[in-house]
Structure 1
Amino acid sequence: MSKIGRPAGPAADTVSTVLTAALEVLLTEGGAALTPLRLHQATGVSRSTIYRHWATPTDVLAALIDVAPPVQRVLSGDPVADLHAEVDLLCDRLRDRPVAAFLQALVTMAASDDAAGPLRQRYVDDLVAPFRAVLASDGVTGERADDAVNAIVAPLLVDALLLDRPASRERAHRAVDLYFPQDAA
């Protein structure tokens, strides 16, 4: 027996087509270009389908974030070394186009779309989660963990987002060493 009406969501190949094109549009034209009309032009998928499932650029970014592969790390057991490794990985991610483009788009969209604010927070939380995992593995939680993560990560995000310059890897490594001196262990 067949069901009457539309399926609950888009077909898998439609999702793949639209989100692949959306990533390309984001990287080449910026987040403001993630409109249903532009995605229709890039994919040939009907505008009604795109409007139904991804009505706003924020909806498109949310869908892209949802399908992004999770970052898996294996901790070495040395929390300071692990924090230094996370600094390098985050600096690399902020340098690479997809992460930087997502952050720029989310910051821009948050000015005009209330739904983009929580999405931006979720994305930033995902970026700092590995730092929190390292600290939690060493028993550092609460305010001390928050302060350490903010001291290490916030300047990197300011460099990448507001100042449009490469994240200062050296400064972040110094912050790790200031919060967790090797001779104190």
Structure 2
Amino acid sequence: MTRPGRPAGPSADTETVVLTAALELLLSEGAAALTPQRLHTVTGVSRSTIYRHWPTPREFLAALIAVAPHPPSRPAGDLAADLHAEVDLLCDRLRDKPVAAFLRALVTASAADPSCTPLRHRYVMDLLEPFRAALRAAGTTDADYIEEAVTAVVAPLLVDALLLDRPIHRERAHRAVDDVLARVAAS
């Protein structure tokens, strides 16, 4: 027996239209542009549908994170090759507008609305996970060491991309990987 009333969520087509427009607005104008009124104007989807499912920028950001593609991590077991491959992928993702701009928008949204902070953490943790997986696949079990190693490789890239608006320095990222590998070999 079906219950009358509104469906639990928007139709797949409506969600695609709204979230595609939300991502375009986010990338061009930032998180402040993610309002139901603005999305209604851009998409033509009824305001009530948008307000019901995405009443605040936080809900748009959460929905965009939920549908964001996350390249699968498939460590081959060669720690050096795996970490270098992952750093190349991250450099490419940060260089391309959507990931870096999305991170900037999450930082800005977190400053304006502290309830967005867990979303920023989740998105960054998703970016870091392939590095953790490579270290675990190579037999590294010390969680503190894994976090320290991942931070040593990724933090400079995030600082350059998010705070300093510098181009991503792939060579420096590879040197950071080599430093981590040297520490792994020494332990």
Q: CA RMSD in A?
A: 1.8
Corresponding residue for residue 124 of structure 2: 124
1:161 aligns with 2:162: yes
Structure 2: stretches of 5+ with no match in the other structure: none
Deviation at residue 167 of structure 1 after TM alignment: 2.2
DSSP-derived class of the 1:119 partner: helix
The amino acid of 1:47's aligned partner reads R
Are residues 182 and 140 of structure 1, via their aligned partners in 2, closer, same or farther at CA, if it must alter by over 3 Å? closer
Corresponding residue for residue 61 of structure 1: 61
Deviation at residue 161 of structure 1 after TM alignment: 0.6
DSSP-derived class of the 2:77 partner: coil
User: Are the counterparts in 2 of residues 80 and 182 from structure 1 also a CA contact under 8 Å?
Assistant: no
Structure 1: stretches of 5+ with no match in the other structure: none
Deviation at residue 182 of structure 1 after TM alignment: 9.7
The structure 1 segments of at least 4 consecutive aligned residues displaced by more than 6 Å after TM superposition are: none
Are residues 174 and 34 of structure 1, via their aligned partners in 2, closer, same or farther at CA, if it must alter by over 3 Å? same
Measure, in 2, the Cα distance between the counterparts of 1:4 and 1:183: 60
Measure, in 1, the Cα distance between the counterparts of 2:78 and 2:183: 10
- TM-score, with length taken from structure 2: 0.92
The range that moved more, 111-120 or 175-184, is 175-184
Measure, in 2, the Cα distance between the counterparts of 1:7 and 1:179: 51
Deviation at residue 140 of structure 1 after TM alignment: 1.5
Q: What is the number of residues matched between the two proteins?
A: 185
1:85 aligns with 2:88: no
Measure, in 1, the Cα distance between the counterparts of 2:170 and 2:92: 9
Measure, in 2, the Cα distance between the counterparts of 1:165 and 1:126: 22
Corresponding residue for residue 171 of structure 1: 172
